[in-house]
Structure 1
Amino acid sequence: MRARTLPVATAAALALAVTGLGAPSAGAAPSGLADDFNGDGYRDLAIGTPKASGGTVTVLFGSASGVSRTRFVNVTQNTPGVPGTAESVDKFGENITSGDVDHDGYADLIVGAPGEEVTGKPRGSVTIVWGGAKPFTSGGIALTAPSAEAAGFGEGAAFADLDGDGTAQLAVVGVDTFWWYGDGGPTQDGAIAPEVDFLPDGVRLDGIVAGHFSSKDGGNGFEYVLHGSRTEPDGTPAPGYIGVLRGGPGDIGSGHTVLSDDGTTGSAAWWSSAVATGDIDGDGYEDLVVADSAGGKGGAFTVRYGSASGLPLKGRTYQQDSPGVPGTDEAYDAFGSALALGDVTGDGRADLAIGAPGEGVDGKRTVGDVVLLKGGSGGLTTTGAQSFHQATAGVPGAAEAGDHFGSSLRLRDINGNGKADLAIGAYGEDVVPNGYDDGAGWVLRGSASGLTTTSATSFNATDFGYPVVAGRKFASVFAR
């Protein structure tokens, strides 16, 4: 569909963004938030577009009024100071995370490029671009595959305190390898392999997320969830792989649990790469949500609740025909293709956004839809459930076939009011006549009653100075 297109941002506006408009006042300490790149106290929104021009990342800076088309920085491998050269196969921005890697109080941008070609090594890299009062102007570092087995290095990354010593470490996965870097900071020669080779044969990893799911080892250290697909030795598909790697003191890899497919599909499940963590029931333990976008007729997701003893092997599964869930369970809806957890209402419990980019609306196919289910003391509830698409009053744009609204999601408080705001991507959005998969993004604000379309914002690549390119699929990735 065509979204309303605003004039391309001017070079002056870009200069303002690069100089850190909204950075802390002189003498003020940076906020220390894991996604506040300029230290002004507001979380920022990083948008990945790995399909075009080797991959791009656009960072929109948060503020009391939310994000704006005039406060941004574009980061590519052609940006001065950023290592590497943009090439068509790199997939720079395939995954994005952030954290204060260099311990200066500012969040740093961590970007995976699993297709990066590296002479004499397997494909893949992770680039760290330094934040600061003038973010992304002081260069960065690139990490490449630590071994000949580390193909697809940068397929996923997370930045959390793995060993429980109070300092976060970077963890990176490849197609079938896991690596982490010690407290001294990531260096090319500093990658550490687990003491125990815990990954089963036939696993192809899609990514990694971190969370506090238990009080094992005294609650020290995060636990990592590694997720991906799996095949049997004869090449036939097997239930998707979801593994939990326990952190804390001791040998990394020795505390490893495989969470089984709960059998909702009745056959081998191809779990999607949509995985989210957050404390849904407010008990102090994070919970894990994993989607199977082929489950049921049109997709499903399973919630496993954290506890003192950790995540259970089985969980509760929801589909669009579950009582209280908006919509109808139909083939090809892809319900669960994207997931995000965050506290939309400000009640201290995480709410769950679920994307269904294949959902039909008003007789049109693959328009896309997003559902919000709220957290509560008893866990996820369908009471007060909400549903949004481009035919919803107040959502910019028009519902048209092929938009795939809800193909990417992120929930974070970007205006500092204590309520998470929802970023939504639609990789199939056409922004010019006869366009094809240009892509666009939206932000809906959180409120005490849930998401609201009041002051809803939309944007596309042309708003940030990029030319229209068929198949760009802008905003197909948001930072975790």
Structure 2
Amino acid sequence: MTPPIPRPLRTGALTAAMVMALVGLGASSAQADTCQAGAESDFNGDGTADLAIGDPDADVGGVERAGRITVAYGGGGGAHLLERGSGSVPGSPGQGDRFGEAMDTFDHDGDGCTDLIVGLPYEDVNGLEEAGAALIVYGSPTGLGEGAAAQVWDQDTAGFGGSPEADDWFGHAVAAGNMPDGEPYAVIGIPGESIGDVKDAGYIQYVRGDYTANFHQDTDGVPGATETNDRYGFDVVVTDTLMVIGSPGEASGPQTFAGHVHLFNHEQADTMPDFVGSLNQDLDSSVSGGVTDVAEVGDRTGTSVHAIDYLTADGSTETMIAIGSPGEDLGTGETDTGAVHVFSSQANGTRSELFFADRDTGGMDLAQSSDFLGQHVRLVDTTPGQNATTTSIKLIVGTPGHTVGQDRAAGMVQVFHPLTGAVTDRVDLDRSGHAALGAPVAGGHFGMSFRATADDLYLATPFDPDDPGAVHAVSWTDLESGTPTWNSWIPGQNGIPAGGTAFGAALG
């Protein structure tokens, strides 16, 4: 069994300019009327939603795989490129840095303009290769990265745990948000961190306002033990209620790389958030009604995680958690077909399984080896603030290895309604039949990158061979009508800057 992801080769280092950009962790003061708060991902504060499109494999100034981000402004606001050393973004393009690979949005400085947190797991720090860093790029009325200097976080930042080491991958996963009172929070996954002599055990850095905490599986209050290749923090997500930590390399007894997930809340227990539970395929006793399937070698449960807080049909607040297990095998002989679980977590600590699907579930009828169902998962509430219906919560699941016709690993995306519990209540998208998406492409791995908002679904095609990539959006209403109209962002068209290599590999 090999580690969950490869290590790309790269060179480069944190520059003096980046070090000078370090500022305090807390939210800085800003004039309340500089931006119009309220719209999701509104980087320039004009009241319309914007889109950050990562292209981590793009060459910048002749530097291979330095990476860049295209900021597409809503309401006809145009687009511009965000690169290292441009605007208020510190540093310079570094070979293999892959700027734009991991990102999330929140309002860190409280000015009403959305800010972008960008993970840089392959950044050199103090000469240590792939120690990793993260940037907070601030929104402003003049645009993302055009105002206050970006913050730089790494394991040398005051209040952070550990210290930079080669191959830590600080920033491999980032997640952020704001409490109802506006207080910002962020979680950073460091899956390559070694704990003592235990390599790639993994580590978490948590920030909420001025409070910081860091922990791993040998920290008091965190169950389990550090083991080689746990990759704790490989993927992370956070809501106002829970923090979800994926550890796809975790062994379950003799079952190596079975994977599991930890849950924490924002309440401080001594010096860190309070641990509230685990989720994996061997937890029948702690999950009401049990968990479908069992932990097996190579399941890689927790490769992708996502969560939302939502109102149930009776108005209670719960958290819904989606967990991908892309390495799941079938008893019929197919391997790495994949699976996805969806759980609910109530305020009293009760957790139950709402939904499960693998390629052997009745009504799926799509069993293929190396499908990797669950490599990427997302949840969205299309009617936030209202009591959920059976169709208002969507589960989006990527199956990037799926063969379409004769095109191996062309990939597909499926949209389920987890509250119905029925896999047949879904929409399948494999690019065939949708002219805007282009034809299925062998090796395109469609389903590796997508984003969902209450209004729209964004699907990216960043990995088509010999193509820079594209992003396509459709409203939920249109998608379910059966005759969707797509809006597209394509390099070199309609004001989007030309060039790029993996345009759409990450979306924010």
TM-score by length of 1: 0.77
The letter of the residue matching 1:340 is: R
Identity of aligned residues (%): 23
Relative distance call for 1:294 and 1:281 in structure 2 (3 A) is farther
Q: Could you tell me which of 40, 50, 57 is aligned with 1:44?
A: 50
1:205-253 alpha-carbon deviations (Å, 9 max, x no partner) = 21210135xxxxxxxxx32111122355999833213111222244324
CA 105–177 in structure 1, closer or farther in 2 if over 3 Å, else same: same
Aligned CA distance change for structure 1 residues 173 and 311 (closer, same or farther; 3 Å) = farther
| Counterpart contact for 1:45–1:478, Cα < 8 Å | yes
C-alpha distance in 1, partners of 2:374/2:276?
Answer: 26
Match of 2:443 among 389, 402, 420: 402
How do residues 284-363 of structure 1 correspond to structure 2 at under 5 angstroms?
284-295=317-328, 296=330, 297=334, 298-310=337-349, 312=351, 316-325=355-364, 327-344=365-382, 348=388, 349-363=392-406
**How well do the aligned residues superpose, as a CA RMSD in angstroms?**
3.3
Aligned-partner Cα distance in 2 for 1:155–1:451:
37
2:81 paired with 1:74 = yes
Identify the range of structure 1 (49-58 vs 401-410) with the bigger mean alpha-carbon deviation.
49-58
Aligned to 1:17: none
**Aligned residues of 1:43 and 1:412 also touching (Cα < 8 A):** no
Give the Å deviation of 1:266: 5.4
Match of 2:71 among 54, 59, 83: 59
Is the partner of 1:93 in helix, strand or coil? coil
Aligned residue for 2:69, secondary structure, equals strand
- Distance apart, 1:28 and its partner CA: 8.4
Q: Please say if residues 34 and 141 of structure 2, whose CA atoms lie closer than 8 Å, have aligned partners that are also in contact.
A: no
Aligned to 1:4: none
User: What is the identity, as a one-letter code, of the residue corresponding to 1:210?
Assistant: V
C-alpha spacing 1:34/1:125, structure 2 compared with 1 (3 Å) = farther
- Equivalent-residue separation in structure 2 for 1:321 and 1:191 (angstroms): 44
Structure 1 gap ranges (5+): 1-25, 185-189, 213-221, 414-419
Work out the CA distance in 2 between the residues paired with 1:300 and 1:345.
27
Aligned to 2:300: 270
Q: How big is each residue's C-alpha offset from its partner over 1:413-459, in whole Å with a ceiling of 9 and x where there is no partner?
A: 4xxxxxx31111223224xxxx2x64332212211773755331233
Q: Verify the 8 A CA contact 2:244 2:307 in the aligned structure 1.
A: no
Among 30, 33, 53, the alignment partner of 2:36 is 30
* Match of residue 503 from structure 2: 474
Number of residues of Structure 1 aligned to a counterpart in Structure 2: 417
Task: Identify which of 134, 138, 143 aligns with 2:142.
Answer: 134
User: Higher relative CO (CA 8 A, sep ≥ 6), structure 1 or 2?
Assistant: 1
Question: Alpha-carbon deviations, 1:75-97, whole Å to 9, x = none?
Answer: 12132320122212223222111
The residue type equivalent to 1:223 in the other structure is L
Q: Which amino acid aligns with 1:110?
A: I
Correspondence for 1:153: 170
Measured after TM superposition, the shift of residue 143 of structure 1 is 1.1
Which residues in structure 2 correspond to 1:166-245 (within 5 Å)? 167-175=183-191, 176-184=202-210, 191-194=212-215, 196=220, 198=222, 200-202=225-227, 203-204=230-231, 205-211=233-239, 222-231=241-250, 237-245=256-264
**Counterparts of 1:232 and 1:353 in 2: how far apart (Å)?**
27
Say whether 1:374 aligns with 2:417: yes
Instruction: Report the counterpart of residue 101 of structure 1 in structure 2.
Output: 108
Pair 1:125–1:356, CA change in 2 (3 A):
same
Measure, in 2, the Cα distance between the counterparts of 1:314 and 1:27. Answer: 44
1:114 to 114, 121, 136: 121
Label 1:280 to 1:318 Cα distance change in 2 as closer, same or farther (>3 A). farther
Residue 459 of structure 2 corresponds to which residue in structure 1?
Answer: 424
1:131 Cα offset (Å): 0.4
Aligned partner letter, 1:132: S
Return 5+ residue gaps in structure 2 as ranges.
1-31, 59-64, 157-161, 192-201, 283-291
| Conserved? CA contact 1:422–1:444, under 8 Å | yes
For 1:442, the equivalent position in structure 2 comes to 472
Three-state SS of the structure 2 residue aligned to 1:402 is coil
**Cα separation, 2, equivalents of 1:277 and 1:182:** 18
Q: Is the 8 A contact 1:153 1:172 kept in 2?
A: yes
For the residue of structure 1 that corresponds to 2:323, the secondary structure is strand
SS at match of 1:450: helix
Please point out which of 382, 389, 393 is paired with 2:430.
Answer: 389
Which residue is 1:465 aligned to?
Answer: 497
Q: Alignment partner of 2:259: what SS?
A: strand
Tell me the TM-score normalised to structure 2 length.
0.73
> Would you say the 8 A contact 1:274–1:291 is kept in 2?
yes
Q: CA deviation at 1:100?
A: 0.9
What is the CA distance between 1:390 and its match in structure 2? 1.7
Contact 2:237 2:245 in 1 (8 A): yes
Counterpart-to-counterpart distance in 2, 1:240 and 1:48: 28
